[in-house]
Amino acid sequence: MKKVFSYLKFYWWQIPLIFVLVFSQTLLELELPDYMSRIINEGILSKDIPLIIQIGTQMLLIALAVSALAITVSFISARIGASLSNRIRKDLFVKIENFSLIEFEKFTTASLITRNTNDVQQVQMIITMMLRMMISAPLYAIIGFSKAYALNASMSWIFAVVIPLLVFMIVTLFSLVTPRYKLVQTLIDKLNLAARENLTGIRVIRAFNAQPTQQEKFHDISEQVRVNSTILQQIMSFMFPGIMLIMSLSTILIVWVGADRINAGTLNVGDMLAFIQYATSMLFSFVMLSMAFIMYPRAAVSGKRIAEVLAIEPQINDPEYPKTNDCSLCGEITFENVYFRYPDAQEDVLRDVSFTAKAGTTTAFIGSTGSGKSTIVNLIPRFYDVTGGSIKIDGIDIRDYKQTTLRDKIGYIPQKGVLFSGSIDSNIRYGTVNAKDEDIVEALEIAQASEIVAEKAEGLEYLIAQGATNVSGGQKQRLSIARALAKKPEIYIFDDSFSALDYKTDAFLRKALKDKLADATVLIVGQRVSTIRHADQIIVLENGAIVGSGTHHQLLEQCPVYLEIAASQLSKEELA
Ligand SMILES: Nc1ncnc2c1ncn2[C@@H]1O[C@H](COP(=O)(O)OP(=O)(O)OP(=O)(O)O)[C@@H](O)[C@H]1O
Ligand SMILES: [Mg+2]
């Protein structure tokens, strides 16, 4: 919670203001019983109507002032709470955006979402509440007690009976409730996770008729949430009646003891009623405090979860002194004895990988699934850092570039096409907001995606649905390619980006790329020999190591692994 509280510094003048307002509100409110005592003793008992009206008017004014103050306090504290959670959310989001894939894998996406929504909300609730209660509750207790004591010291022993009773009850309930709140919070995490998995995997779940098992899983967790929340509610349902009972008990005690004294003439009716009110205020302050105590642990769990995210230092950072270079033909990529191991993995996925991709040439990667092709190309935009060796672009280690400089050089087309909800136009402009319209049209043309736009009545304004469910796999890939092309980078990385394209489109696309991207360095990961055979250099991977490199014809002669792949895909004539 420390981290969360540190955000309060942004409200350095609003918070003292709240304290002053609450202070005056409480003081005024606690004046009322005195007035009531006077209205009864001096007004009603002696039937002095003008005095009753006079004191009554004063009381009314005070009550109005109290209400106005209370409303103002609520306004300000609600604003602080909402603005504070907004700040936290923003900071969390910025932090998460800067996470490298390593951190994402550590937290999981579902948990990051819960932390940025539900947890922030918990924190907002407790902050808003504390702002209002932190001053008023102790004030009620102290002033209530001292006023009651001043009114009639001999009756204050009643507090010695009632307060321990109240404290005992609150502490008991508190100790029953707190562990369960923590449990419910983690269960809600699980529930979110299950719901997310179910919703994103709905197609597969349907196709495998797995609804019953999924439902069972979900029901299990949901049931646990139900049981625990029910118990929580049941325990809590004792709270208010219990408190009311104790308060009524104290009133009865006061009236019982007071009645004797009134008879004996040592106490008057007004004072007894005032005493009751002060006692009630004081006891009520305990209730307020206990509410805060019950909510606090839950919010503290949330605060901790937020702080955990904020405290993470991303493992991939900008260098202290970033380098730049001015080259005439940029985009040469060099891998020098690169080793790589995924965080927490047991084995290296890449072993001693060295090659150079010259500017203006095409380098292709081929190899069986899991051989490390995607891993190699993902190292270039620094999604991960190498664990050994180095990668250089134009002679400078990629870790010495600013990350933005580095990524500006690269047009990356992921293995699984990703589009964002919004128009086609906004998706293509994703990396280059200021792209000219001609550039967009050209990018779509090279990517063989013009026809997708032409088919839609809305053209470029056609709205891609969330998760890009309203375009086909091949369309998604072509639009992803167009997005990278519009950026006009020096280096293109196609991670198996042609896999969902039919052979004809694949061939057209490669031809267009060759014509238009003559100066660019192109890296293509491919499964089809036909896609990559014309590359200037083909690198054959097996189990994370290079087992051959050269042109198609060289490899056919020298590399048995390549020959085997090619033989399985091409006809005898093509191989010859
Ligand atoms: N995020 C990750 N964490 C741990 N291991 C991973 C991760 N991503 C991939 N791997 C492992 O690294 C190895 C290489 O994976 P990679 O994705 O590079 O293969 P690939 O050659 O691109 O395969 P495909 O042709 O199926 O796309 C695999 O054994 C895989 O299990
Ligand atoms: Mg891959």
Domain limits, the chain: 2-311, 333-575
CA distance 224 to 230: 10
In words, the CATH class of domain 2-311 is: mainly alpha
pLDDT confidence of residue 328: 66
Give tens-digit pLDDT for 237-247: 888 888 889 98
Report the separation in Å between the CA atom of 538 and the middle of ligand 2, taken as the mean of its atom positions: 16
pLDDT confidence of residue 76: 94
CA distance 345 to 356: 27
Q: Which of 96-105, 115-124, 187-196 has maximum average pLDDT?
A: 115-124
DSSP state of 321: S
Report the separation in Å between the CA atom of 376 and the middle of ligand 2, taken as the mean of its atom positions: 9
Selection from 320, 517, 490, 495 nearest residue 406 by Cα: 490
Q: Give the other-Cβ count within 10 Å of 382's Cβ.
A: 20
In this structure, the residue with its CA closest to atom 22 of ligand 1 is 374
Q: Residues enclosing ligand 1, CB less than 6 A?
A: 342, 345, 349, 367, 369-375, 415, 496
Report the separation in Å between the CA atom of 221 and the middle of ligand 1, taken as the mean of its atom positions: 32
Report the separation in Å between the CA atom of 407 and the middle of ligand 1, taken as the mean of its atom positions: 22
Give tens-digit pLDDT for 215-224: 998 999 999 9
HSE, CB side, 13 Å, CA atoms: give it for residue 485.
Answer: 27
Index of the ligand 1 atom closest to the CA of residue 376 = 18
In this structure, the residue with its CA closest to atom 7 of ligand 1 is 342
Selection from 279, 284, 289 nearest residue 146 by Cα: 279
Helical segments of 312-333, H only: none
CATH number for the 333-575 domain, one of 3.90.1010.10, 3.40.50.300, 3.40.720.10, 2.40.50.140? 3.40.50.300
Helical segments of 208-337, H only: 211-264, 269-311
Token duo for residue 543: 């189990």
In this structure, the residue with its CA closest to atom 4 of ligand 1 is 342
pLDDT for 136 beyond 70: yes
pLDDT confidence of residue 82: 94
Report the separation in Å between the CA atom of 437 and the middle of ligand 2, taken as the mean of its atom positions: 33
In this structure, the residue with its CA closest to atom 30 of ligand 1 is 370
Residue 337 Ramachandran class (φ > 0 left, ψ -120 to 50 alpha, else beta): left
Index of the ligand 1 atom closest to the CA of residue 105 = 1
CA distance 178 to 300: 11
Query: In terms of residues, how long is the chain?
Result: 576
pLDDT band at 135 (very low <50, low <70, confident <90, very high): confident
In this structure, the residue with its CA closest to atom 17 of ligand 1 is 374
CA distance 494 to 486: 14
CA distance 313 to 277: 55
For residues 186-209, average pLDDT: 84
Write out the residues surrounding ion ligand 2, Cβ under 5 A: 374, 415
Mean pLDDT of the chain: 89
User: Which ligand has an atom closest to residue 378 CA?
Assistant: 1
